[in-house]
Amino acid sequence: MSLQNIKTVILLMFENRSFDNMLGHLSFENLQPDADGILPPLDQDKYTNLYQGGTYYPFQRPEDQQLQSDVPHEYNFVATQLAPGADGQPTMSGFVEAYADFTGANPNIQADPMCFFESKEVTITSFLAQKYCTCDRWFCPLPTSTQPNRTVAFCGESAIFETKTQAIPDKGNIFDWLDTNGISWGVYHDGFPFFALYPGLWDKILLSGKFHNYENLGTDLKNNTAPQVIIVEPSYQDAPHIGPDHPNDNHPPLAVGWGEDFLRRTYQAATMNPDVWAQTLMVVYYDEHGGFYDHVPPPDFNNVAAGNAAPPAPYAFNTLGPRIPGILISPWVAPGTVSHDVYDHTSVLQLLAELFTPGTPYSNAVANRTAQGIASISSALTDTASSIPPPPPPSDPIFAKTLLGDSIASPPDNDMGRSLEAAALNMIAQRPDDIDANFPLLNNWKAAVDQARQGS
Amino acid sequence: MKALKTLSIMGFALLLAACHPRIYQFSVDPKSIGPNDPVRVSWQVKGKATLLIHDINYPGSGNVKLQPLTLQITQDGKVNSFMLYPDSTLKILLAGEDSLRVDKKPDSNTDDRLRYITLVVTRNGQDSSRVIQVAVRPDAAKDEIAFRTIIRGDSIVAMGINNPVRWGDAFNIQTVSDVSNRVMDIVHSNISQQLRPGDPPDNSFNGTPVRGNWVFRSLMTAEEKNDHRLVPNFLKLSITIKHH
C-alpha cells in the first residue's frame, strides 16, 4: 500500500442513507457488477420485507423528490429492521414494519424505506463510485442513530447509544488526537457544525481558528495551504439555518440533489491543484443508513467489548449497523474497483494512525474494533498511482425538487434538530463574544427564531 | 424609529408563523379496489391543496403499457371527467369541501395498477405533501401472503393477520399455491388444507376473504432440527384473488 504517498485526507460524511438506497443501482444497472447492490428481479425472496402478511420489495424511486417524512433509525427501530430470524441472525426484513411503527400509518405498497435511486438521480455519487473505489462492506459501527455513530466516527467510541437532546462526551475525539500528534487539521463547514453537540469541543470550534467556512475549501486546496486532515461538513437539515443556506446533507426527507451538488463542488475542490490531488485521499461516507433498506445483514460484533454504551434490554448491540455508501477517491485507488473488505467508521481512524503514528493505534477502542475484524481503508490503496487525470464530474445542472414544509417558525420535531438547536442556543448564551467573532450570523438566526416563535 | 423597527420585526414574525402549510389529515379509502370501484379522498389542511393522481404498473405485474382511462371526480356535488394518460399526472385543485370521490368511467380495462394519490399543500411559497397508494387490481390478479417463522416443537409456524387496511373487502381468495417448496398445512377462515410443492393451485379457500387470520405450519427437516440457521425466515403462499 502507498501510505507514504498520502499527504492530505479529506473526510466528507453525509447523513442517513443505506448502500442500497444510494448505490444499489450499480449492480442493478450493470454499471459496476462487482458491487453487491440490488439485482433484478426485485421480488426475490432475499429482498422480501414483511408487514402484516404483505410482502414488500425494493423499488426504483422515479424522481429525486423530498419524502413525506423522515425514516426511522433509532436503535429500537433498527432492531425491528434487522429482524433476527430463528437463528438470531439479521434477516433485513423489518424495514417496512419499523416504518409503519414510526409513522403510525398503513405503509404504502411502495414504502419509502424500500426505495433506491437510479444513477440518473444520483449522478455525482454514481460517477465517483464508478470511477474510483466503492466499498460495499462498509457498515455503520452501531445499529442505532446519528449521534452515537458520528461519535464513534470521530472519537473511536461512544458513551451514548441513542440520539436525543444531550451534550455528548468527546472522549477520544479526533481533534485532540490530531493536536497531540502535531497533525494539521481543519473543518470546512457549510452550515452550523455538528461538533457543536460536544461542549468539550467548543474551544476548538470557537477559538482554534481551524473551523472555516466551506467556501474557503477550494481556495485553500488550490493554494496548497489546506491542512493535512480536512473534515468537510455539509449543511445539516436538522441544524439552525443561516441566511440563504440550504441543507445538503441528504438527510431524509430532503431530496438528494442538494447533496449531489455539494459532493460535486467538494470533488472539484479536491482535484483543483494537480500537485495536491496527487497526494490526496477523499473519503465519502454516511453516518448511518437512515432507516433505508439494505439487503446485506451486518456481521456479528461485540460493541460493548469495543467500549461503547449499549441500550437497555431487550436491545443489544451485537452486530454492526446496516451498510452505508462508502467511496474512496484518490489517484491511489485502482480506478473502477470495489473493495469487499469489512469497514466501519473507525477504518478511517485506523488509516490516520497508520499515516501519522505508524505502529501506534488511534486508541484502545479502535484497536478493539480492529481485533474484531474491522479493516483499515488503507487496504484499498494501491502502490502505484493512477496516471489518469481526475475525470471531471458530470456538469449537467442538478435540479433538487423539494417540498419544504417547515420553517424556523416551528421548533424542530426530532431529537437531532432539538439537540443542534439547543447547542446553538447554549453557545450563544455562554460564549457570546466568541459567537460574535466566529458565527455572527448565528445571532441573526436566534433573533429571527425568537421573533418567529412568539405567540406560536 | 425603534418602535417602528420592533413592529416590523413582529409583523415579520407573525407572517412566518402564519405561512406554514399544514396537513392535519389525509386519507384515501379503500386501499385496494377493483377496476371500476370508487375511492373517497378526504383532507384537512392549512394552505392551498392540490391532488395529484399518477398510475404505474402494479409491482411485479410486468411492464405492459397502461391504457388511458377516464376518471370522474365528484367534488362539491359537481362531477368532472379527466383523462388519465400513461406516464402523466392528473392535477386537481381542491377547494370547498374537504373530501371528494374518485370513480372510473366503467370500461373493460384490466390493467393491474398502483395509483399514487398525492396531496400537496402550498402556502407562501412553501409546500408539504403526503402520498397514499391505492392498488387498482383487475377482476382476477396474483399476489402473495407471507409471515415470519417461529419454531414450535418439531414444526415451523408462520401466522398472523393479513392486513385488513390494505385489503379491505373488495377481494376474495380464488386459489392458493405453495411457493415455499415444502409441505405446509394452511388454516384460514375455519378451513384447513395441506399444500404440497408442485401441486396445482388449490381452491379450498375459494371465496374466503384475503384479509384476516392465516396459519402456515410445516414440519422441520432433520437438517433444520440440527441447524436452525437452515430454517427459512418466512413462509409464503402465492394467491390468486377475485374481485367481488
Map out the domains of chain A as residue ranges.
7-19+118-380
Say if residue B130's pLDDT is above 50.
yes
Q: Which three cell numbers stand for residue A413?
A: 420535531
Q: Say if A444 is an interface residue toward chain B (CB within 8 Å).
A: no
Say if residue B11's pLDDT is above 60.
no
B162/A454 Cβ within 8 A: no
Domain annotation covers residue B15: no
CA dihedral A335, A336, A342, A347 (to 10 degrees): 40
B145/A405 Cβ within 8 A: no
Q: Are A447 and A453 in contact (CB under 8 A)?
A: no
Q: Are residues B149 and B105 in the same domain?
A: no
A404/B127 Cβ within 8 A: yes
ipTM over 0.85: yes
Q: Are A279 and A398 in contact (CB under 8 A)?
A: no
Q: Which chain A residue is nearest to residue B136, measuring alpha carbons?
A: A109
Q: Which chain B residue is nearest to residue A409, measuring alpha carbons?
A: B17
Instruction: Please give the mean pLDDT across all residues of chain B.
Output: 89
Helix (H) or strand (E) holding A206: helix A202-207
Q: What is the pLDDT of residue A456?
A: 46
CA dihedral A166, A171, A173, A176 (to 10 degrees): 130
- Chain B CB contacts of A409 under 8 Å are 13, 16-17, 19-20
Domain annotation covers residue B103: yes
Q: How many CA atoms lie less than 13 Å away from A72 in the CB half-sphere? A: 21
Average pLDDT over every residue of A19-38: 98
Q: Say if A51 is an interface residue toward chain B (CB within 8 Å).
A: yes
Average pLDDT over every residue of B50-66: 91
Domain annotation covers residue B212: yes
Q: Which chain A residue is nearest to residue B212, measuring alpha carbons?
A: A53
**Nearest-10 crossing angle of helices A346-356, A364-371:** 110
Q: Are residues B122 and B175 in the same domain?
A: no
Q: How far apart are alpha carbons A217 and A6 in whole angstroms?
A: 18
Q: How confident is the model at residue A74 (pLDDT cuts 50, 70, 90)?
A: very high
Residue in B138, B147, B120, B215 with CA at minimum distance from that of residue B174: B138
Which A positions 382-411 lie with beta carbon below 8 A of chain B? Answer: 403-410
Q: Are A169 and A154 in contact (CB under 8 A)?
A: no
Q: Which three cell numbers stand for residue A1?
A: 500500500
Q: Which residues contact B37 (CB under 8 A, 6 or more apart)?
A: B30, B104, B170
Which of B126, B146, B150 has the CB atom closest to A53's CB atom?
B146
The DSSP call for residue B11 is: H
Domain annotation covers residue B4: no
Q: Which residues contact B219 (CB under 8 A, 6 or more apart)?
A: B154, B155, B156, B183
What's the CATH code of the domain at B103?
A: 2.60.40
Q: What is the pLDDT of residue A336?
A: 96
Q: How far apart are alpha carbons B198 and B184 in whole angstroms?
A: 12
Q: How far apart are alpha carbons A287 and A16 in whole angstroms?
A: 6
Which of B9, B13, B146 has the CB atom closest to A55's CB atom?
B146
Say if residue B86's pLDDT is above 60.
yes
Please identify, among B78, B103, B136, the residue that sits at the C-terminal boundary of a domain: B136
Q: How far apart are alpha carbons B90 and B83 in whole angstroms?
A: 8
Say if residue A15's pLDDT is above 90.
yes
Q: Are residues B56 and B152 in the same domain?
A: no
The CATH number of the domain covering residues in A7-19+118-380: 3.40.720.10
Q: Say if B126 is an interface residue toward chain A (CB within 8 Å).
A: yes
pTM, two decimal places: 0.90
Give the angle A8-A11-A14 at the CA atoms, nearest 5°.
Answer: 160
Q: What is the pLDDT of residue A244?
A: 58
A451/B166 Cβ within 8 A: no
Please identify, among B136, B161, B187, the residue that sits at the C-terminal boundary of a domain: B136
Q: Which chain A residue is nearest to residue B179, measuring alpha carbons?
A: A45
Q: Are residues B127 and B148 in the same domain?
A: no
Domain annotation covers residue B6: no
Tens digits of residue pLDDT in A131-183: 999 999 999 999 999 999 999 999 999 999 999 999 999 999 999 999 999 99
CB atoms inside a 10 Å sphere around CB B82:
16
Q: How confident is the model at residue A394 (pLDDT cuts 50, 70, 90)?
A: confident
Domain annotation covers residue B149: yes
A43/B60 Cβ within 8 A: yes
Q: Which chain A residue is nearest to residue B163, measuring alpha carbons?
A: A52
CA dihedral B202, B197, B230, A296 (to 10 degrees): -70
Which of A87, A91, A451 has the CB atom closest to B9's CB atom?
A451
Q: Count of domains in chain B?
A: 2
Q: How far apart are alpha carbons B201 and B179 in whole angstroms?
A: 10
Q: What is the pLDDT of residue A342?
A: 98
Q: How confident is the model at residue B6 (pLDDT cuts 50, 70, 90)?
A: very low
Q: Which three cell numbers stand for residue B126?
A: 412553501
In a 3-state reduction of DSSP, which class is residue A106? coil
Q: Are residues B122 and B152 in the same domain?
A: no
Q: How confident is the model at residue A435 (pLDDT cuts 50, 70, 90)?
A: confident
B165/A109 Cβ within 8 A: no
Substitution target in B46, B234, B239 with the highest count of A β-carbons within 10 Å is B234
In a 3-state reduction of DSSP, which class is residue A50? strand
Q: How far apart are alpha carbons A207 and A438 in whole angstroms?
A: 8
Q: Say if A46 is an interface residue toward chain B (CB within 8 Å).
A: no
Q: What is the distance between the terminal CA atoms of chain B, rounded to a whole angstrom?
A: 73
- Chain A CB contacts of B10 under 8 Å are 451, 454
Q: Are residues B131 and B145 in the same domain?
A: no
Tens digits of residue pLDDT in A110-138: 999 999 999 999 999 999 999 999 999 99
Residue in B182, B9, B109, B230 with CA at minimum distance from that of residue A451: B9
- Least confident span in A200-204, B71-75, B130-134: B71-75
Which B positions 173-202 lie with beta carbon below 8 A of chain A? Answer: none
Q: How confident is the model at residue B74 (pLDDT cuts 50, 70, 90)?
A: very high
B59/A57 Cβ within 8 A: yes
Bridge-partner residues for B188, per DSSP? B191, B214
B10/A454 Cβ within 8 A: yes
Residue recorded with cell 384515501: B28
Q: Which residues contact A397 (CB under 8 A, 6 or more apart)?
A: none
Task: Report H helices in A92-145.
Answer: 95-103, 123-131
Q: What is the pLDDT of residue A1?
A: 56
The DSSP call for residue A384 is: S
Q: Are residues B89 and B177 in the same domain?
A: no
- Chain B CB contacts of A53 under 8 Å are 145-147, 160-163, 214
Tens digits of residue pLDDT in B192-236: 999 999 999 999 999 999 999 999 999 999 999 999 999 999 999
Q: What type of residue sits at position A214?
A: Y
- Least confident span in A316-325, A413-422, B184-193: A413-422
Q: Are A137 and A23 in contact (CB under 8 A)?
A: no
- Least confident span in A113-127, A297-311, A374-388, B99-113: B99-113
Q: Are residues B198 and B110 in the same domain?
A: no
Q: Say if A44 is an interface residue toward chain B (CB within 8 Å).
A: no
Q: What is the pLDDT of residue B167?
A: 96
Task: Report H helices in A280-363.
Answer: 346-356
Q: Are residues B94 and B163 in the same domain?
A: no
- Least confident span in A336-350, B35-49, B92-106, B128-142: B92-106
A85/B133 Cβ within 8 A: no
Average pLDDT over every residue of A58-67: 88
For residue A7, report the phi and psi dihedrals to the nearest 5 degrees: -110, -25
The domain in which residue B81 lies consists of 23-136
Domain annotation covers residue B202: yes
**Residue A395 CB burial class (10 angstroms; 0-12, 13-18, ≥19):** exposed
A86/B233 Cβ within 8 A: yes
Domain annotation covers residue B9: no
Substitution target in B8, B16, B188 with the highest count of A β-carbons within 10 Å is B16
Q: What is the pLDDT of residue A242?
A: 66
Q: Say if B13 is an interface residue toward chain A (CB within 8 Å).
A: yes
Q: Say if A63 is an interface residue toward chain B (CB within 8 Å).
A: no
Cα A329 to Cα A11, A186, A323, B208: the distances in Å are 10, 19, 19, 58
B132/A409 Cβ within 8 A: no
In a 3-state reduction of DSSP, which class is residue A417? helix
